[in-house]
A and B are shown apart, each in its own frame.
Chain A
Amino acid sequence: NAGVTQTPKFQVLKTGQSMTLQCAQDMNHEYMSWYRQDPGMGLRLIHYSVGAGITDQGEVPNGYNVSRSTTEDFPLRLLSAAPSQTSVYFCASSWDPNNEKLFFGSGTQLSVL
């Protein structure tokens, strides 16, 4: 059982470039979310989805887009990368929006130069 799979594990971008972080889960979870982890800041919610076709903003959504065309996939798009987006990104999922026990992917370490 793969759980939550994130790709790539590492990425280096130049300022202004765009890219998509991929996230897929095989547990048929309705709820999926993206977090970023920064030193001294904990995990902060970027965007989340309560089901296919439904997305909403979290605490720090600026500079990021998401879509949820299937239950399994929840990609995160950086429109024009900035150094402030250098971070570790985690995708997470759970059975439903009210279930706080999240399953996390292993993370993507992103550096923007």
Chain B
Amino acid sequence: DQQVKQNSPSLSVQEGRISILNCDYTNSMFDYFLWYKKYPAEGPTFLISISSIKDKNEDGRFTVFLNKSAKHLSLHIVPSQPGDSAVYFCAATGPFGNEKLTFGTGTRLTIIP
């Protein structure tokens, strides 16, 4: 049972436009969410996170929005740049400490110059 779902395997966006990557989760105990970015032949790198006590977190061009009632989060990248082309993984964890991350299946973002 996939508790964290990224329903779009791929997304193409024009350079300079907004990229929106979506993630849905089913476990209501999840209370901390992260996005990781992965380039080919490299390991994932942490991008941005959000706690369930917030509904938005911003870091430069990257903003993550959390809608707890819908069990949905999204990553917005504005403006999109060619270097943003990568696979993006959504991940979630619970409140009890020592929780292990549950990852989504990833979305491949391609920025078209």
Contacts and interface: CB of A to CB of B under 8 A. Distances in A.
Interface of A: 4, 33, 35, 40-45, 48, 50, 58-59, 90, 92, 97-98, 100-107
Given A42-B106, A106-B42, A107-B41, A98 B100 contact: no
Contacts of A41: 105
Contacts of A58: 100
B100 A4 contact: no
Given A43-B89, A104-B36, 15 more contacts: A42-B104, A42-B105, A43-B91, A44-B103, A50-B98, A97-B98, A98-B97, A100-B34, A100-B49, A100-B93, A101-B34, A102-B101, A104-B45, A107-B41, A107-B42
Interface residues of B, number: 24
Interface string B1-29: 01010000000000000000000000000
Contact of A90 (B43, B104, B106): B43
Contacts of A44: 103
B44 to A, nearest CB: 5
A104 B4 contact: no
